[in-house]
Structure 1
């Protein structure tokens, strides 16, 4: 018993030391951090609610696990062969049976209320200030801005020699999706070939991009910066190399970017974006 206690104490010390050492990287803003524990930092109201609900469930699960552990210890100590040489012949207990039926139902109802509120918040798209169409293709994303002009561009992952200092590996792209801060952005998704999935952890969004179908989600980024995500639906051999980069800027900077993008990505001044992207992929 003493040896077991010593081992458990040592394990607890190791866990505490690991968590303490990793504390600065518990959660990254817009991208994963080395040795990260927990979810990425929130940048939207939806993600704020997701983190709250996650922590809320963690407390409940921890309490249930501790209760079950206490019951196991009591059973091992009080109802072993040495303590009870003559075993009990109890077949049922009405009170206990009622309790273990009603209490779990109450716990699930306690969980269901905030769960449904969060689902409603995620699925009910509010009036949007901006709409962005994201089209998943093997293996890159194309973005268009129906509210801001007739232009579309492709967003491909940067290769090793193309990344600048500070740009994350496997996440940085050549053309980022740009949106204004503190504006409600409606994202509509579709797929050009197979099923993809548009996911940005710091925004708390994940929506499938399905060929022949339009899905929608939304976010309101409350902080400027670059937020990364990835395709989250297995879509072929280069699925792992299909990042998403969303650059949140001020409203003035966004307006300036739109004017520049209209010239840079104008549909009638460039070959079809899919052909250009396909050529770039083949050149790799």
Structure 2
């Protein structure tokens, strides 16, 4: 019986572990770890986060143990005559060399991670300019045959049915938008981030991609990502920017290269029709007949 119970619990743990990657698209209640990685950068960020815990946890427990020893052993009732030691060479060396070694083992991988994150790969496959204003995002695709630019607002509850986004598990409240940024899977995407000249500072944050970059008026910042799997991923403006700061989500839809090319070709003519046809192909949502005739996947 005990062996069967243990086997059952092990099976449950492995099933839950196998389900974790599917939760990478959006934040979840009671989440205690970083979102599951959808890009190589985020994979390294998650590794570094877990790596530092091997230093943080022992140091925290060690300090706690020292505090307990001091409280119990050196309290006034147990130690009425306090020590008058003013210098101890061994202790001085220990608390100097110890932190130096810890910082050394943390600094090296952190520098490598920052270098990998901040160096933009040459010849990106897609370049998108994200411009923030109170309280929306504008996406402009560069380098295409036809210019493509559109605004992205938080999806209102009253517009869900018309947009075909009634499934709140896929299009969650306060995170779903009317027009997502669409990018191809497995391709390097360069993102130029700024804010409107007369606006305030915003921040482009996509946790599953390991991206957080300030959008500053008059300044053009850049970052990159390469999504390893398809799906919709959600982020938010993470810089306090006014009364509707909490209602400025970011949504990126990652699709296959063929579907991306088809969407790009159709979006320049009719963005709404292209989005609904893409949803019909990816989400299994049936698009209206006239839209299916306009855009075919």
> What is the TM-score normalised by the length of structure 1?
0.81
Partner Cα distance (2:159, 2:238) in 1:
24
- Is 1:197–2:197 an aligned residue pair? no
CA shift, 1:26, in A, is: 7.7
Structure 2 residue corresponding to 1:186, chosen from 169, 186, 190: 190
1:75 deviates by 2.5
Determine the C-alpha separation between the residues in 1 that align with 2:201 and 2:78. 61
Distance 1:162 1:96 in 2: 66
Of 9, 26, 43, which aligns to 2:38?
43
Q: Equivalent residues in 2 for 1:177-256 (5 A)? A: 177-192=181-196, 193-256=199-262
- 3-state SS, counterpart of residue 269 of structure 2: helix
- What does residue range 5-154 of structure 1 map to in structure 2 within 5 Å? 28-127=23-122, 128-148=124-144, 149-154=146-151
Counterpart-to-counterpart distance in 2, 1:126 and 1:31: 26
- Please report the RMSD computed on the Cα atoms of aligned residues, expressed in angstroms: 1.9
- In 2, the alpha carbon distance for the partners of 1:150 and 1:121 equals 31
Q: Residues 168-227 of structure 1, C-alpha deviation per residue, up to 9 Å, x if partnerless?
A: 001101110000001010000111122111110000001111111111000000010000
- The answer on whether the counterparts of 1:26 and 1:38 sit within 8 Å (CA) in structure 2 is no
Q: Secondary structure at the match of 2:142?
A: coil
Distance 1:213 1:190 in 2: 6
- 1:176 matched residue in structure 2: 180
Q: Is the 8 A contact 2:20 2:36 kept in 1?
A: no
Give the unaligned 5+ runs of structure 1: 1-19, 266-284
SS at match of 2:191: strand
Aligned-partner SS, 2:203: strand
> Per the alignment, do residues 79 and 48 of structure 1 end up closer, same or farther by CA in structure 2, a change over 3 Å counting?
same
- TM-score, normalisation: structure 2: 0.78
Q: Aligned residue pairs: how many?
A: 244
CA contact (8 A) 1:135 1:209 kept: yes
Runs of 4+ in 1 over 4 A off after TM superposition: 23-27
Instruction: Note the alpha carbon deviations across 1:227-278, whole angstroms, 9 max, x for none.
Output: 001111111221111111000000000000000111125xxxxxxxxxxxxx
